[in-house]
Amino acid sequence: MLFTGCEEKIETGPVDWFGDTFSSMEEDQKIGQLFCLTVDPIKYFLYPDYKETVNTVLKKYMFGAIYLAANIDTVKMETRIEFNGNKLHDELVSLQGIAEIPLVVAADFESGAWYWDSKATRFPYPLALSAVQSEDYAYRQGKITAVEAKAQGINWLFSPVVSLKLPDKKGLLTLQSLGSDPETVGSIATSFITGSQEVGIATCLKYFPNERYNSLLDASPDILDDIQRGVFARGIEAGALSVMGSPVGLEGAPPPGEGKGMIDVLRNYLGFEGILLSEFRASNDPMYALQEMDLLLDCIDDGITMFILPEVFESDIPLLDLMFNEALSGNIDITAVDREVTRILKTKRRLNVHKAKEMHSLRTMSGIGLPEYYQNSRDIADASITLLKNDDGILPVNFEEAYVVSISFLGEYTPQFSSIYDNVFNTVSHDDLSLSIFDIPDERIKHEAIRRSKEADIIICSFFVKPDNESGDMTLQPGIIDLMNRIRAVNKKIIVVSYYDPGIIRQLKGFPSYIAAYSPSQHSIEATLEIIMGKRGATGRLPIRLSDEFPLGHGIITASNEAQ
């Protein structure tokens, strides 16, 4: 049994909490419950003006939930050390004190609860779970993530991502996804959900493809993608309490009525009675408030429960001001609102959110970063790494006999991995031979990389380049592809390693060896180099299709030198 330290019985709370709360709510309070405010906890901690604005809108609009989101890659390490899980927990206790009705607190945490506590467990990206194909590891990751999230005051995970990865479709996530095989995604997601919700943490299935289903349903309500539907059906059957669909908004999102595909499938075909979420791209311009209100009321009538609002930079939100005024004036039919607020309050009671104001010393109930948690993360990283190609027996590499040069490619938000990788590489190479290239290389850097490549016996090219945040696509700059081709022209013995999206391999054709590692963590870096040296066998299977050469499920299984 996986020890978590929090196997306490989850209480259902006062039987009358839901009834007492619902019967005492005014119309504006009910409307406020339908919104989830995005909050950057680092800004909340660092900047008093930002904190004051968040506190003001929280009091004024009585939100039902907050979603903690921050660009971790841009946060300095010293800030992350200063702002840890203890600080976050204290801030959330303070926020709960402001809320008239206790908040549900959400975070993504697809790869663990480490975002705001460096001691918490960092897992590889979810693709790694499908590369391992272990339900047990998925269960453990779900439970450990939930335990460490709960210790920080978070009770809602916006994960797992079960959208099937389709390489020919833009906008579908890769790294955060569990892959493209419906059977594997379904079993891994089910195990993750089971582990998380045993701790009393809600999970959220992402991202239900609204537009795709809408076009199918327009043709015939009986024409459905059974594969995709089956994945979401399994997650719902496992107990997922919420589902997130595509964003809603006047611009850059489906117009009114386009979200009905999600609602029809989930409510009518799958019988889902939980919370349906959509991001709402609200404007601070009062000119659009009436149009936005009409759109939202349509969505609520259709069955969407909660809308995620972006960060606010002002104390007034014109859309909500208008909705409150119209509701209190009796100009809004509150029937659909009552239905969705009922779903929200019942979920809060189920999660014991009604006890949020009594939060104290939760961190003493469960450890953060326990050794066994770290070992679970390492085991997943070790088992997931996938050897895709090994022409001419380039692996294993004997670092004692071969002159090995390392060239690392880093993106705008990944420079911190340069020192982590260099430290690990230099330990095994016994020499400072690593070259780090940030963003687009200039001619001086290209010349140095080619010079070193000519002298080397073997070159390891490591890619720490993240996919585009908006589209989810992985596109390398032409300058990087040009440099890789010039390196290959002077040395054929090249090992290409992707520590983020394995999709970059589609752009780097004709190299003799490829490895997909699914994570830039020190665990994955160490395990990858051990596979290159033959100290560890490769056991991962590709969780998505990259090309005809690298289909779904592809992976070269090897044994360690010791086993051989």
Q: So what's the pLDDT on residue 441?
A: 81
For the segment 391-408, what is each residue's pLDDT rounded down to a tens digit?
988 999 998 899 999 999
- Higher pLDDT: 265 or 238? It is 238
Q: Averaging pLDDT over each range in 11-15, 367-371, 473-477, which range is the top one? A: 367-371
Q: How confident is the model at residue 475 (pLDDT cuts 50, 70, 90)?
A: confident
Residue pointed to by tokens 């059906």: 233
Q: What average pLDDT does this structure show over 86-105? A: 89
- For the beta sheet containing 434-438, the strands, ordered from the edge strand earlier in sequence to the opposite edge, are 386-390, 513-516, 494-498, 458-464, 404-410, 434-438
Q: So what's the pLDDT on residue 431?
A: 62
Mean of per-residue pLDDT scores for the chain: 84
Measured CA to CA, the distance from residue 542 to residue 553 in angstroms comes to 5
Q: So what's the pLDDT on residue 468?
A: 53
- SS in 3 state form for 310-325? CCCCCCCCHHHHHHHH
12 pLDDT higher than 50: no
Q: So what's the pLDDT on residue 147?
A: 93
Query: What CATH architecture is 385-533?
Result: 3-Layer(aba) Sandwich (3.40)
Calculate what percentage of the chain has a pLDDT beyond 90: 52
Which amino acid is residue 511, in one-letter code? F
Distances in Å between the Cα of 137 and the Cα atoms of 151, 184, 234, 384, 404 are 21, 13, 18, 11, 34
Q: What is the pTM of this model?
A: 0.89
Residue pointed to by tokens 């690392």: 408
Q: How confident is the model at residue 5 (pLDDT cuts 50, 70, 90)?
A: very low
223 pLDDT higher than 50: no
Measured CA to CA, the distance from residue 97 to residue 32 in angstroms comes to 17
- The shares of helix, strand and coil residues in the chain, as percent rounded to the nearest 5, are 45, 15, 40
Measured CA to CA, the distance from residue 150 to residue 242 in angstroms comes to 18
Q: How confident is the model at residue 275 (pLDDT cuts 50, 70, 90)?
A: very high
DSSP state of 11: P
Q: 313: which 2 tokens?
A: 């930079």
- Higher pLDDT: 471 or 431? It is 431
Looking at the chain, which residues constitute the CATH 3.40.50.1700 domain(s)? 385-533
Q: Which region among 159-163, 420-424, 491-495 has the lowest average model confidence (pLDDT)?
A: 420-424
For the segment 500-544, what is each residue's pLDDT rounded down to a tens digit?
888 888 889 899 999 999 998 888 999 999 999 999 999 999 999
- Positive or negative, the Cα torsion across 422, 425, 428, 434? negative
Number of neighbours of residue 168 by Cβ within 10 angstroms: 6
Closest CA to 207 of 183, 249, 177: 177
Looking at the chain, which residues constitute the CATH 3.20.20.300 domain(s)? 17-364
Q: 363: which 2 tokens?
A: 């961190």
Q: What average pLDDT does this structure show over 47-61? A: 94
Q: So what's the pLDDT on residue 270?
A: 84
- Higher pLDDT: 454 or 77? It is 454
The alpha carbon of residue 7 and the mean position of all alpha carbons in its chain are separated, in whole angstroms, by 26
Calculate what percentage of the chain has a pLDDT beyond 70: 82
Q: How confident is the model at residue 76 (pLDDT cuts 50, 70, 90)?
A: low
Q: How confident is the model at residue 213 (pLDDT cuts 50, 70, 90)?
A: low
Closest CA to 303 of 333, 350, 262: 262
Spatial contact of 541 and 554, defined as CB atoms under 8 Å apart = yes
Q: So what's the pLDDT on residue 8?
A: 41
CATH 3.40.50.1820 fits 17-364, yes or no: no
39 pLDDT higher than 90: yes
Burial 511-544 (b: 16+ CB within 10 A, else e): bbbbbbbbbbbbbbbbbbbbbbbbebbbbbbbbb
Q: How confident is the model at residue 335 (pLDDT cuts 50, 70, 90)?
A: very high
Spatial contact of 472 and 506, defined as CB atoms under 8 Å apart = no
- SS in 3 state form for 169-184? CCCCCCCCECCCCHHH
DSSP-assigned beta bridge partners for residue 436: 408
Q: So what's the pLDDT on residue 473?
A: 54
245 pLDDT higher than 70: yes
Distances in Å between the Cα of 261 and the Cα atoms of 214, 230, 236, 265 are 4, 16, 17, 6
Collapsed DSSP state (helix, strand, coil) of residue 381: helix
338 pLDDT higher than 80: yes
Q: What average pLDDT does this structure show over 228-244? A: 90
Q: What average pLDDT does this structure show over 353-357? A: 73
Closest CA to 214 of 248, 239, 174, 190: 248
For the segment 164-194, what is each residue's pLDDT rounded down to a tens digit?
754 444 434 567 889 989 999 999 999 999 9
115 pLDDT higher than 90: no
Backbone angles phi, psi at 410, to 5 degrees: -125, 145
Spatial contact of 246 and 259, defined as CB atoms under 8 Å apart = yes
